[in-house]
A and B are shown apart, each in its own frame.
Chain A
Amino acid sequence: MNPDIQVRKHKSQPKRSYARFSWLEGAVGHSLLICYSLLCLFPVLVVVLNSFKQPLAIFNAPFVPPTPDTFTLDGYKTLAENANFGLYTLNSLTVTLSSLGLILLAGSAAAFALSEYKFRFNTLLSLYLSVGIMVPIRLGTPGILELAKTLHINNTLWALIAVYTAQGLPLAIFILTAFMRQLPKDLKEAARLDGASEYRIYLLILPLIRPAIGAILAISLIPVWNDLWFPLILANGEHTKTLVLGASMFLGQFVNDYNAVLAALSLAILPAVVLYIIFSKQLIRGLTDGAIK
């Protein structure tokens, strides 16, 4: 390879390190990555394509796209008549957005305190809060159910919001504290000299932590949106079902109606993929920057 090109390439993307590769390695790499990407897409495509086909066509030729002869929307009709997917989606959105909002609000305030003040129990408190990064909240389920009954929030969306907030806080505080410690001190000190209150200073630095907030949103979103365990145990009534639980129960009920099952799966895939497309950049950055420390 021409050395000049090498240098220029390097300058344009100074942060990336290059493992230079030969033609053969490139070919091997591409074929491996293409094969693996197909393996990742294949089940999703099979589900979505077959959801528009008549049952006979599903079994006779599962890997053929629907044709005008085999096309049908029966599955979606069954779905509309038998399951309240609109309500389930609304429940999922309410729970996810509320807990993400609370995680950010309470998490950034706590991180501000931990990064900004020196007090006696600072280190101890940080350690206490980081226990939840590694210990899964699921293991406290018997205690959580008992608590939810005591507080009369059992079988409401509040129980889910509280649990997901508690679950997301430790990692959020950990990432935000590390991020806030790196912010320049001049700005805060100048504001203090001008007589700004501590709350004002907190509001002042919130816009500065936007990159970290994006990462936290992206990391917390998937486990909350996709959780099956807590909806199953804390909120399995018809009016509190989340999309994942609703889909799961519908699938169990209509297990032999392939059209309905495939339609339900396709509809459940849709919001996840839309969210993923919106957040994929933050998600990837969050996973790569935030998780390794």
Chain B
Amino acid sequence: MRKQFSPHLLVFLLPAVAIYSLFMIYPLFTSLWLSLNTQINNGPEHFVGLANYFRLFQAPEFSGPFWNALWNNIKFFAIHMLVQNPVGLLLAVFLSKQLRGTEIYRTLIFTPTVLSVVIVGFAWRLILNPQWGLHTTLLGLPSTALTTVALISVWQNVGIPMMLFTAALIRIPSEFYEAARMDGASAWKIFWNIQFPLIFPTLGIVSVLTFVGNFNAFDIVFATQGALGGPNFSTDILGTLFYRTFEGYQLQLGDPYMGSTIAGVMLLIILAGVIAYLLGWQRRIQDLQY
């Protein structure tokens, strides 16, 4: 490494740091600032502290939709953790066995992930259409809609945990398996006693990626159920609520201040998840390693 400071340094760093600061960091702060302000009847913008947040949590016109969306979002995340990641792991275990045709399987299973959510959402909406022989309308009933949308999202995204788990499994040295086979261990035992502990760090990364992705989700609900998260808001999540509040929808006018407030809450939730992962999970892994 070169030690002396040089003007070249600025030339190399400036474009990236400028674009990143201007279009990512600065807007995040202005959004947070907007969430601490309000405006009445097109009057001047004024500072109100955390009043918007209290309004979001307590005022009847905001708190109902907000808690509903948050609760739906938690269920949405739980379904991904319970279905997407175990299925991804299961597929990865078989893919890492290097059966014949592994490449083809991997390419096919990853295909939904590269398709646009609009395509995926509409394709499933057509297939689950009652006119096509299905007896009930899974996406049309409040009791089944959220689970169905979450499963469509799982179907689309399972390729990502599958890839990450496959990469981790392939790295396990073959000596470990040889030794276990010598001792007569079953496939099930090998999985729990060798593979699972060794891919534990990947499980952490997959979980935090799922968490961030799910609490920031919008497209899949918008594409299958529309901006209102229908029927009767049963699939409304934080992303769709943020969109409606900020942009306005149908009769509802857009409100940048309350929209920013919802974005602020989403930011806090996501930061809490990431920090919990960095502090808790990573430290445990370090303890294991030393």
Contact = CB atoms under 8 A, between A and B. Distances in A.
Q: Bound pair: A and B?
A: yes
Interface of A: 10, 16-22, 25-26, 28-30, 32-34, 36-37, 39-41, 43-44, 46-47, 59, 62, 102, 105-107, 109-110, 112-114, 116-119, 125, 128-129, 131-132, 134-147, 162-163, 165-167, 169-170, 173, 198-199, 202, 222, 225-226, 228-229, 232-233, 243-244, 247-248, 251, 258, 261-262, 265, 268-269, 272-273, 275-276, 280, 283-284, 287-289, 291-292
A186 to B, nearest CB: 14
A258 B126 CA distance: 9
A173 B178 CA distance: 40
Given A19-B177, A228-B117, A272-B116, A107 B190 contact: no
A25 B97 contact: yes
Interface residues of B, number: 103
Contacts, number: 296
A117 B98 CA distance: 43
B170 A109 contact: no
Specify the main secondary structure of chain B where it touches its partner: helix
Given A118-B2, A166-B24, A292-B167, A37 B13 contact: no
A226 B116 contact: yes
Given A30-B99, A117-B1, A147-B22, A247 B205 contact: no
A238 B202 CA distance: 43
Contacts of A169: 16, 19-20
Contact of A144 (B3, B27, B267): B27
Nearest to B268: A139
Interface string B120-131: 101110110001
B163 interface: yes
Contacts of A25: 97, 187
Contacts of A273: 111, 114-115
Given A17-B173, A119-B5, A276-B111, A291 B164 contact: yes
B71 interface: no
Given A106-B16, A118-B1, A139-B28, A17 B123 contact: no
A43 to B, nearest CB: 4
A33 B108 CA distance: 10
A139 B111 contact: no
A104 B275 CA distance: 29
A109 B171 CA distance: 32
Contacts of B104: 37
A139 B31 contact: yes
B91 interface: yes
A94 B184 CA distance: 58
B244 interface: no
B48 interface: no
B115 A269 contact: yes
Interface in B265-282: 266-267, 270-271, 274
B85 interface: no
Contact of B266 (A26, A139, A248): A139
A129 B101 CA distance: 40
B148 interface: no
B149 interface: no
B163 A284 contact: yes
B16 A46 contact: no
Residue from the set B30, B190, B218 with the largest chain A CB neighbour count within 10 Å: B30
A21 B96 CA distance: 11
Residue from the set B106, B187, B195 with the largest chain A CB neighbour count within 10 Å: B187
Interface of B: 1-3, 5-6, 8-9, 11-13, 15-17, 19-20, 22-31, 34, 90-91, 94-99, 101, 104-120, 122-124, 126-127, 131-133, 155, 160, 163-164, 166-174, 177-178, 181, 187, 190, 195, 201-202, 205, 208, 212, 216, 218-219, 222-223, 239, 242-243, 246-247, 256, 259-260, 263, 266-267, 270-271, 274
A166 B23 contact: yes
B16 A109 contact: yes
> Top 5 nearest A-B pairs by Cβ distance?
A143-B27, A288-B167, A143-B30, A140-B27, A110-B16
A166 B22 contact: yes
A247 B155 CA distance: 21
B15 A105 contact: yes
Nearest to A37: B108
Given A62-B133, A109-B15, A284-B106, A289 B259 contact: no
22 contacts: A19-B97, A30-B101, A44-B115, A59-B132, A117-B6, A118-B2, A128-B25, A139-B31, A139-B216, A139-B266, A139-B267, A140-B28, A142-B31, A166-B19, A166-B22, A198-B12, A202-B12, A226-B114, A229-B218, A243-B116, A247-B119, A258-B126
Contacts of A105: 15
Contacts of B172: 17, 19
A213 to B, nearest CB: 15
A252 to B, nearest CB: 8
